[in-house]
Every structure is written in C-alpha cells, then in structure tokens.
Amino acid sequence: MNKFLHKWASDLFPINRSITGKGVRDTLSYIKDIIPNLNVYSIPSGKRVFDWVIPNEWEINEAFIEDQNGNRVIDFANNNLHVVGYSEPVDKWIDIDELNNYLHSIPEQPNAIPYVTSYYNKTWGFCLSENQRSKLKDKKYHAVIRSKLKKGFLNYGELIIPGKSKKEILLSTYICHPSMANNEVSGPVVTAAIAKELEQNKLNYTIRIVFIPETIGSIAYLFDHYQALKKMVIAGFNITCVGDNNCYSYLPSRDGNSISDKAALHALKHVDSNFIKYSWLDRGSDERQYCAPGIDLPIASILRSKYGEYPEYHTSLDDLSFISEDGLQESVDIYIKVIKIINENYTPKPLILCEPNMGKRGLYSLISKQNSNTKGVIDMMNIISLCDGVNTILDISEEINLPFWDVNEIIKVLIKENIVSPFK
Amino acid sequence: MNKFLHKWASDLFPINRSITGKGVRDTLSYIKDIIPNLNVYSIPSGKRVFDWVIPNEWEINEAFIEDQNGNRVIDFANNNLHVVGYSEPVDKWIDIDELNNYLHSIPEQPNAIPYVTSYYNKTWGFCLSENQRSKLKDKKYHAVIRSKLKKGFLNYGELIIPGKSKKEILLSTYICHPSMANNEVSGPVVTAAIAKELEQNKLNYTIRIVFIPETIGSIAYLFDHYQALKKMVIAGFNITCVGDNNCYSYLPSRDGNSISDKAALHALKHVDSNFIKYSWLDRGSDERQYCAPGIDLPIASILRSKYGEYPEYHTSLDDLSFISEDGLQESVDIYIKVIKIINENYTPKPLILCEPNMGKRGLYSLISKQNSNTKGVIDMMNIISLCDGVNTILDISEEINLPFWDVNEIIKVLIKENIVSPFK
Amino acid sequence: MNKFLHKWASDLFPINRSITGKGVRDTLSYIKDIIPNLNVYSIPSGKRVFDWVIPNEWEINEAFIEDQNGNRVIDFANNNLHVVGYSEPVDKWIDIDELNNYLHSIPEQPNAIPYVTSYYNKTWGFCLSENQRSKLKDKKYHAVIRSKLKKGFLNYGELIIPGKSKKEILLSTYICHPSMANNEVSGPVVTAAIAKELEQNKLNYTIRIVFIPETIGSIAYLFDHYQALKKMVIAGFNITCVGDNNCYSYLPSRDGNSISDKAALHALKHVDSNFIKYSWLDRGSDERQYCAPGIDLPIASILRSKYGEYPEYHTSLDDLSFISEDGLQESVDIYIKVIKIINENYTPKPLILCEPNMGKRGLYSLISKQNSNTKGVIDMMNIISLCDGVNTILDISEEINLPFWDVNEIIKVLIKENIVSPFK
C-alpha cells in the first residue's frame, strides 16, 4: 500500500482533541483529505441522547503554572496533556499545598504526564510528571487556564462504501484523545487506510465507517441510527490501539460467537496464533455501547497492546515512538483480511450428487497409485465433501484447518467447474 | 440463629422410628412444637400407591435375648437398633446355631451394631456388635420379640409457607430411622430450622416442606400430589446427612442442570469449593422417587458425609457424637443461601439503551484517570452489560465469577436507579 | 461360526478383478455360493451416472515383458498386479529407456509389486518390484499386453434380508481389486459371513448388503437407489480392510454422530478400547459417495489396518499372509455386535411411576443392610431410573458405562416384569 501511515499519525498527534470542539474538527478535516467521501456531521450541545446529554464545547487557548519569578514551570503549550480535559477557567495565585489538590502525576512512572479528564464534573487541574512535580519548591504559584465551556457541537465523520447488499459491516474508531499515539491516533490512521483500500474493491456488503468521540460519540451516533444498524449490520469492529509492534490482542463482542468473532479469530490463528485473547469483561471502548443490551451489534476488536494493559497507556509515554509504520501496516492488513473473510463468506451448495469426476476435469491424478494424490487434491476433495449447503466457507476452513483465503481460492475453481454454487 | 440444633437432635435421637407407627408420630409431634404450622396427615395401611402398598404398622414393646441364667445379653431397651425393623413376634428357646441365622453383626466393625430392616419380607432378627456376639457361648438362648403388625397408618408432616407466587420450592426430609444421628436426625432438625427461618421472610415463591418416611413415604406422598407438584415445583432438595463437620457433598437431580443444581453448585463453589460432587448414579434417597421418570421433579441434595459413603453409616456408630452444632448450623446456612438464590433469582431487563450515565448518579469515578475505576465500579458495569433480558442474576454471577449474594446487592442498586427491571 | 473365512479369502485372492469384467462376475458367483439369496445385477457401459459414465469392460488374456533371449522377465500369469489396470493392448519391441516410462516400482519397498490403475486415461504399463526392475539390463524388450476394452457391463451383487421394519441397515463392500488380501478380499469375505449369520436371525430392521466395484460401483448403485436409500437407511457400514490382526481403526460417517457412529464407537470401547480413531478427512472408500452432500447416508467403517495407513497397502505384500482366520473372525464378530446394537436399540418407556417394588418381584435384596445391594441390583435400578422415554438403551449404556449387550439383558427382564415398554 503506502508508507504514509506513520506520517499521518505524526500529523494528527499534536492536535488537542477532546470529545468536542476544534480538535475534533481539525482531525476530521485531515481525515477527509485522505478519504474525500467522508461526511462530517454535528450534534448540538444540550441534545439528550439516551441517558446522556451532549456536553458544551470546551475551548482552551492557554494554560500554565507560573512561579514567583514569572517562569512557566508547566505550560500547556509544551504538551496538551498538561491540562485536565474540560478544565474550567482559573487565574489565581495559590499556595502549593492547595495547588497539590489540582495536580495529577504518577509516582511509579516519574517521567510520565498522565492523561486526565473531567467531562461531567466541573473542576480544573494540571497533569505533570512526578519529576516536574518534585521541582515545585515555591510557596505559591500562579495557576492560569484560559478555557471556555460554551454551546456548540459534537462532531463525527461517516463514510459509506456501497456494496451489492445493503447489509453492512461497521467500522468505528475514535478521535477525542489529545497527543497519544497507540491510544489513539493509530485508530483513525489505520481506519482511514482500510477505508482507502476498501473503496478500491467491489464489495458484497456495504461498509459503514465512523470516526467519533468515544462513549458520548457512539451513544449519540447510536441514538440516531441504532434501529437501522440493528437491521443492517452483520459484523463490525471498534478499531483502536493498532499501532505498536507487540503481539495482537483480541476483544470479543458481547455475544462472543458472531461472524465478527469467528472471522477475526480465524484470521488471527492463521496470521499469528500467538495473540492475547481477552474476554468481554475486559472491554473498555465503544463496544460497550455497540454491544449494549438492546443495541446488540456484533462489534469486536483486534488490537495490538490493548488499552489499560500497557504502562504507557493514557500517559505522555504513549507517544509516536511507541507506534511504527510496520505495526500500523500489519493492523491494516489483518483488518483487510478479516473484512474480506466476512465479505466473501457464504454457504456454497453442491451442484453434483456423489463425488464429481475430477479426472475428466484435469483436477485429479489420472493414474492411481498408492498415495498418489497431492495435498492440494486432498484439500480440494475435502472441501467438496464439506460443501453440503450448511457449512460456510469459514466453517469448512475451520474444519480442515486451512486459512479462509486458501480455501476460497479452491472454492473459486469449484464454482468455475459448476461443482458448487457461487455467492448469493 | 439459635443454639438448639444439637439439643433437638438429642431429643429426637432415642425415639424408635420406623416407616410407620408411634415413633413417626412422636417425631412429628416434636417437630410441630418447633414449627406449629406443620400439619400431620395419615394414610391407611393397605392403600395402593403406584406399585406399592402402605404396610401395616409395626409396634414393638420389648425384645431381648436371654441366656440360660436369665441374663438379658441383648436388650432392645438398651438400643433400638438391636431388633431388625419390622420383626415378627417370637418367644422361644433356640440353639445358638439356629439363632445365628437371625443375628446380624459386622466383623469389620466389631463395636458397631448394624441397622437392619425387613419391611416387606416377614422374618425376625437381632442386631448386635461383633464384640457382643463373640460372648454368646451358651448352647441355647431365649429369643423374645414382643411386636405386632396391625392395620394403622403411615404418617407424614407437611408445612406450606406461602410466597407471592404459587410456584413452589419443595424441601423433603425423612423420619423413619431409629437412633442414628447423621442419617437421620440431622435431616429433620436442619429442615425444621430452615422452616423456622423461612417463615420469618417475605418470599417470592411458596415453600413446601415435607417430613416423611423414606421411600414408601415419598411414593405415597407423590401418589396423592404428583400432578400438582409437577405443575408447581420449580426447585427442591431432599435434606439428609447434614450434621457432621466433614466437607460438603453434592448429589444432583436426575436432570443435573435444573435451577436446584445450578443454585446449589453456585453456593457450594463460593462457600467451600472443596466439596465432593457425586453423580445421579450415586443417589440413594427420596430423589429416587421425586426425580423418577414421569415424576421429573428437580430435586437435588447438599449433604455432609453422604449416606453409604462413611463407615458409621447405618450403624450405632452414627451417634450424637458424629454430628455437631456447627455442622448442623452450617447446613442450615448453606440451604438458606441456596433457597434465597432460587427465591430471588430472575431475569433483570435493561431499562436504558447504551450504558447508563453513572457519573450523574454518583456511581462512577467522576475524574477519569488511567485505571481509575475501582473493582466495585467494574463489577457494576459488568453486571449492567450482562443484564440483557436473557441472563438471570445467577447466570450473571457465574459469568463474572462473583457470589449471587454480592451480585444481587448491586442489582438492588440498579433497580433503585431505574437501570434494570425488578423481580416479576 | 465357521472356520472357512481364510479359505474363502484364498479362493477369491487369485481372481483378476477390476471395476468391470469377468473377475467381478467370478467373484460374485463365488459369493452367491455362500449366500444363495444374492442377486447379481448389470449396468451397461456408457450409462451416465451422476457426473460419471459406466466404462467399457476391460478384458486381459496375456501380458508379459520378454527379453532378447525370449525369456519372460515379467509375466502377468505370475501375478495379476504386473499389469496396470485398464491397460490398452500393446505388442512391440521397445528401448529400455522408453519402457521405463511404462514401468512402476517402489524404490523404498524393493520386494513389492505396486498396484496401479488407469481407468479413465488411456495408457498401458507394467508393475514390478524394484528388485525385478534392477535386473532389466537389456537394451530392448518385447512388451506385450493382449487386452481389450469393449462395451459390456458393470456388475454388482445385492442381498436383502427382510426385517420387521422396512427401515434398513446398509452394508457395502467392494470387489474390484486384483490379488490383494486385506484391501480387498477381507471385505467381501467378512461381509458374506455377516450376511450368513444375519440370515439366521429375526431382525427388527431390514439388512441391505451390496458387493460392488469401488467408487464407480457405489456411484452407479446410488444413481439408481439413492432416493429410496435416503428414506430407508438408518445406519450402515462400508466394510473393507478387516482381515489382519492389528488393532481396530474407526472411520466415522460425515455426520460423525449418527447411530452408526454411536453404536460402532460403543462396541469398540467395550471390545477393545485401544483402537485408532480417524476423522472424516481420512476417508478414502465408498463412504465418499454414501455420505456425499445430498446423499447423506450415515455410513461409517470399522477396519483393522486402514487403507493408506500400512506399508503393504496396494502392493503385492498385502497378500494372504497379511490376514488371518482370527482377524477375519473378530471383524465378523464386532460387526455383528454393532449391527445387533443398532437392530435392538430403542427408547424404552417407563410403565410405572416412582421406583417399582423390586422386592415383591424377587429382584431386590429383601433384607436391607448397609450396602446390601449387589452391583447387579444397582445396575438394574440405574437402568430403571434412566428409562425416561427419552434415552435409548444405547444412551443408557453410555451413561452407566456398561456394554449395550449387558444392559439389554436387564431391559429384557424389565420388559417381562412390565416395568418398561418393549421395542416398537
């Protein structure tokens, strides 16, 4: 494909995203340059969406902690993790003892600035590394956050790639975290690359791709679309934490046995069986909404280092050096593999009773000796014997322990030879 | 609760019970003092009940073996196990060689008087320890049994504790063994204590408790009630061998997967997972009738040392020292736990689509940091995600591997917050 | 039974069978002497059967390779494996270099003459041992095959042994290989012996036995009969490789869970649990047709050394010394056991509610002591408790881990005592 994945990530990394506001819009704008068919939508602050309300937009222009000598010891301009997300404005001199109540650091990770938010509880705060914090020796500091919370919009992007069927495969990724690499920019980068590749294919199923703020974004999206999605979505994935080089992780859908799960586990087994299999109880992203009782979409995740499971998670250490071009590309590749499985899987029906005569078709060893059939012929005969009008190609692949993509090549030969029925 | 369990056992122990007669009535009378709502019923001798006939009552006043010097070497007055149950009357001098045909002892357990009955085959006999037997050196002995077999009644007790639903949980225990402690008086003692405690609760389901002679009693009871029971009983237990301090045992229902089985195995796992799990093929008490083909009730047993599996079983060594206040009380406790599970289990339906906003309810960490949720919050969110209108609370408890009683506390909070539907 | 099994094998061994022609007819004629009710049928060359065409008959009178001194260095008269099956006629002097293209040997098995055929591709060839081949030092040889390919018939034998029900158990074996013992003459020999024995029994089910050429024979037979077979056949076996003394092998039906599979695996477990269990993917004989999608018959195989899995397979080393009277007889015995299981299996219904009174029937220990019941009584009570109108006798046998034949003896007692319902 391309070699721009890490470049895209680097471009998106510095943007100060939150669940609403300019950061989201700038991110969507960048993605629209990659996939121009993307449509961007706005939901107004204050709108009720199920049990939630779309929050006000958070705008921040400047924030710092200044010492008594006028030195900015912590400056939002240096790292947008330095301010607690959705902090209210503040501008006051404050005793170090009181200030400590508004500071967040991680003693066990002295170099890491933690990522902290407070969307639904009005407060303010600064995040800094333990090393930075240990240098705050003054009695008083000047804490300044020039932010606003005001009516505005929650924005998201949506791309529909039409297929032969109106049934859909849903891909979702999120765009609400400031400067962090694996969680989060790897998600929109990999998803954009998948979109670009899928747009070049004739597809059996329609692909729906959304770029949304996590949690409130998927809830808002579902509020407007869940009845249609329940009817149309046959499979899907929440794409996140797909940038590093560590082994794959798998987070199942709530159902655990959907075609999303089967296809993903099949691909992982054949691509790199040494992956970590999590349970539904380990979930933590938008599958919480997509798979919620009553919503019930079959949404799973293939990840690399999973959110919550690596020490750099939700800190400044999850930076561009934590992800790689290879890690991003392999994630694109496995998702494309899985989507192709779902897209091409069907139940081939036998068109001939008893074994077909493969000899007359030139597909069989014509002289029969002890063990004269090659593995390829044995595979083909096994596949024919399992095309019973009940098994899907994926079922057959599992049964004979071959990758879907190899079995599917043989199925194509069998279709050509009028031995089994084609898709649909 | 109380500290009277072993006292009750001690009071019931000396009564000479058999499958009919005064011993049964005296026992029921004592239990009625504990649970005054108990009703006592009588079924006349000679009545046909399925493949069986209610036997005559057996009355015994005196029985002994006298030596030639007039010493009573074996005397029923000393231990009511000394006479074979349902012995016919006898009064004759008899050569030791012939007498031996009527004596029962256990060479491998020289101190134990065995418990022997012959309900359906007319004969007589004495039971004695091997040690006692070895002292019988005379040539002749005078064998005397002053017993009668006469028309009368088979008696049983029944207690109905009404619940909101007419659907029932059935508890059954038996009252037909003479002086033995674990098998049997632990059964009626623990069952009476359970009844006393359940009477103090508002229950969703009706509780039906029966105190019956084993086998012929449950067959007779089922003959009159099985059609109603098949409609109404959703779960139940045969309560026996619940007095000693050894690890728990579990005997499943024939089905093996009823709510009785699920609730009992769940409670055992969380109370003391080190229990012995028997199979239906190890059955041996009234579940043989309750679970019989065509009767098909879901009746299981939680026991301590199971009948047939401990050397003291069915001998005079199964005495009051074999059981303990603690053993009895723990058995009451686990049955109460299991009955509460069955009584309170239901399928909570989700009342909100997507995740509820827990923050606004004060049930969630408002400031989001790396891994900021406590185990309690994670448990709560897991439970919400599994309340899908299909899973019961017990299913959810199994899925997240927490005890039902803990999950149920969280469910109560969710009901209060209008997040899930209440019982019924 | 008899001691003629190896004799029959020895008589059948030398016949030069192929998929059509005199060898098949001579073989069927010999088998008709054993089971006179066998009917022999003919299907004309050229008939289309599903995806195939019945081939011409192959007739061969003489074949040899002659050296320049007139010595026949290879002679079909010595071993009918020496000629590639369905070889075209040839009569020419040929350079050793060119001749080598028409010679088949196995370097790894220098004593073995391989078995090679070319039914559907016109060619000719000789098979010889590597040792024989290494002696061909001349420059030219005279290759002579006096064969004909001409319109004729494909023949097969069919025997129907009527039972009470028109539902059928199908046994199939093949008669198209020249002089090889385990694969193939053990198959028709064992099948003929089974037929002989079954003819002496009153059977619940009808038995259909076919002796056919492999592959084209079963395809042709199914072409004419598959609709009837799909309605009637409840179980069946393809009988092959049943002559040697090695451990049993098992090849399941495609379904894998049919009554054929259950009965066969049950019998193998109790007769000799040390057997090799193959999968459907290891198939290789007429189950390929009988179990093909759309045909869907429940046909499995119990074998000794399975085709393709022993070095002597499809060579001259699979000779009469490879099989034995004992091996053949044990194969007859296990098939008879399995067929009897299928024939006698049914779902006994309980005729009495609650446990029956076994004492009054003399089937129970009348005096009840600690552990007074024998294993036989416990087995009987277990069986009664599992006769629920859902379990078959085979299900019950599996549940209590006793052989069907033992459980069935107890069922017969229970039928006599009006405790459970009889067959049908």
Which residue of B104, B218, B254 is in closest CB contact with C385?
B254
From chain B, pick out residues whose CB is under 8 angstroms from the CB of C366: 118, 120-121
pLDDT-wise least confident of A19-33, C137-151, C363-377: C363-377
Residues 75-104 of C with CB under 8 A from B: none
Q: Which amino acid does the sequence have at A238?
A: N
Please calculate the CA angle B96-B98-B99 and round it to the nearest 5 degrees.
60
Q: A354 and C114 in contact by Cβ < 8 A?
A: no
- DSSP bridge pairs for A26: none
Domain ranges of chain C: 5-53+155-344, 57-150, 348-422
Q: State the complex-level ipTM.
A: 0.94
Q: Do domains C5-53+155-344 and C57-150 have the same CATH topology?
A: no
- Choose from C353, C381, C387, C421 for mutation: most chain B CBs within 10 A: C353
Whether C354 has a pLDDT exceeding 60, the answer reads: yes
First to last CA, chain B: 30
Eight-class DSSP state of C205: E
Q: Indicate whether A1 pLDDT > 60.
A: no
CA atoms within 13 A on the CB side of B108: 4
Q: Which of C357, C367, C370 sits opposite B118 (nearest CB)?
A: C367
What is the tens place of the pLDDT at every residue in A97-125?
A: 999 999 999 999 999 999 999 988 899 99
Residue B1 has pLDDT above 50, yes or no: no
pLDDT digits (tens, 9 = 90+) for B345-378: 999 999 999 999 998 898 876 667 766 678 889 9
pLDDT of amino acid B366:
62
Residue type, B293: P
- Kindly determine whether residue A294 and residue B370, on different chains, have CB atoms separated by under 8 Å: no
Instruction: Give the separation between CA B125 and CA B143, rounded to whole angstroms.
Output: 9
| CATH code matching the domain that covers B57-150, chosen among 2.40.40.20, 3.40.50.10440, 3.40.50.150, 3.50.30.90 | 3.50.30.90
CB-side exposure of C398: number of CA atoms within 13 Å? 14
Locate the chain B residue with the closest alpha carbon to A220: B354
Q: Looking at beta carbons, which residues of chain B come within 8 Å of C353?
A: 50, 222, 226, 292, 294-295
A-contacting residues in C 302-341 (Cβ below 8 Å): 308, 313-315
Mutate to test the interface with C, among A351, A354, A361, A384 (most CBs of C within 10 A): A354
Residue pLDDT, tens place only, B43-89: 999 999 999 999 999 999 999 999 999 999 999 999 999 999 999 99
Q: How, if at all, do strands C205-212 and C153-161 pair?
A: antiparallel
Residue from C358, C215, C355 nearest C290 by CA: C215
- Count Cβ–Cβ pairs < 8 Å, chain A vs chain B: 80
**In A255-324, alpha helices (H):** 259-272, 287-290
The residues pairing with A92 across neighbouring beta strands, listed in sequence order, are: A143
Q: What is the pLDDT of residue C33?
A: 98
How far CA A103 is from CA of A65, A75, B302, C249, C336, in Å, comes to 11, 13, 56, 72, 84
Q: What is the mean pLDDT of chain B?
A: 96
Q: C385 and B308 in contact by Cβ < 8 A? A: no
- What confidence category does residue B424 fall into, taking pLDDT thresholds of 50, 70 and 90? confident
Euclidean distance between CA atoms B237 and B242, whole angstroms? 12
Task: Give the pTM.
Answer: 0.94
Percent of chain B with pLDDT over 70: 98
Q: Which of B264, B251, B242, B404 is nearest to B330 (CA)?
A: B242
Residue C367: the pLDDT is 67
Burial class (CB in 10 A: 0-12, 13-18, 19+), B194: buried
A vs C, Cβ pairs < 8 A, gives 80
Q: Which residues pair with C376 in a beta bridge?
A: none
Mean residue pLDDT across chain A: 96
pLDDT higher than threshold 70 for residue A297 = yes
Measured at the alpha carbon of residue A309, what is the angle toward residues A304 and A313, in degrees to the nearest 5? Answer: 85
In one letter, which amino acid is B162? P
Q: What pLDDT does A3 receive?
A: 79
Average pLDDT, integer, range C374-384: 93
- Interface check for C128 against chain A (CB to CB < 8 A): the answer is no
The CATH code for residues A5-53+155-344 is 3.40.630.10
pLDDT in tens, B222-270: 999 999 999 999 999 999 999 999 999 999 999 999 999 999 999 999 9
Distance CA(B295)–CA(B230), nearest Å, equals 7
The pLDDT of residue C179: 97
Three-class DSSP labels, chain B? CCCCHHHHHHHHCCCCCCCCCHHHHHHHHHHHHHCCCCEEEEEECCCEECCEECCCEEEEEEEEEECCCCCEEEECCCCCCCECECCCCEEEEEEHHHHHHHEECCCCCCCCCECCECCCCCCCCEECCHHHHHCCCCCEEEEEEEEEEECCEEEEEEEEECCCEEEEEEEEEECCCCCCHHHHHHHHHHHHHHHHHHCCCCCCEEEEEEEECCCHHHHHHHHHHHHHHHHHEEEEEECCCCCCCCCCEEECCCCCCCHHHHHHHHHHHHHHCCCEECCHHHCCCCHHHHCCCCCCCCEEEEECCCCCCCCCCCECCCCHHHCCHHHHHHHHHHHHHHHHHHHHCCCCCECCCCCCCCHHHCCCCCCECCCCCCHHHHHHHHHHHHCCCCCCHHHHHHHHCCCHHHHHHHHHHHHHCCCECCCC
Chain A contact set for B348 (CB, 8 A): none
pLDDT at C1: 47
- Closest among C208, C65, C72, C85 to C143, alpha carbons compared: C65
Give the pLDDT band of residue B296 (cuts 50, 70, 90).
very high
